[in-house]
Amino acid sequence: MMYYARNINFSELKKNEKIKFNAIVDGKIYNLYGKYLGKETIKNEKEEEIYCSKFSSKIIAGSIFSIDNEIFVWVTNDKNKIPVKIKADILIGSVIVYLSKAENLKY
């Protein structure tokens, strides 16, 4: 879903609108959907503010995650649409990932 989101025109979506996509988990194809959650300004680990589009997607239990859950992704609200923050709940707490560096961007 993170890579699929880079091709979505967020300006045409309404908050909480669903986005259908297919995913392969452990060799099996799933028909899933993501949900556009609107615009949000986040702070990265360096406390820099980044204006983003936020969406969520269901996580399928498999070799990476042991339970069905939701993942949240923030992509930059520019033409690059770079995933800069990812958050997912796991059995004990949650995992938050921040992009630390991006090079050779088209825009």
pLDDT band at 42 (very low <50, low <70, confident <90, very high): very high
Of residues 61 and 8, more confidently modeled? 8
Q: Which of 2-6, 14-18, 38-42 has the lowest mean pLDDT?
A: 2-6
Please state, as a whole number, how many other Cβ atoms lie within 10 Å of the Cβ of residue 5.
20
In a 3-state reduction of DSSP, which class is residue 3?
Answer: helix
In the DSSP assignment, the letter for residue 11 is G
pLDDT of residue 66: 59
Distance CA 84, CA 82 (A): 6
Which tens digits make up the pLDDT trace of 94-103?
Answer: 888 899 888 9
Which tens digits make up the pLDDT trace of 66-95?
Answer: 566 788 999 999 989 999 999 987 777 788
Going from N- to C-terminal start, the domains of the chain cover 2-98
Q: Which long-range contacts (CB under 8 A, 24 or more apart) does 27-33 make?
A: 30/60, 32/1, 32/57, 32/58, 32/60, 33/57, 33/58
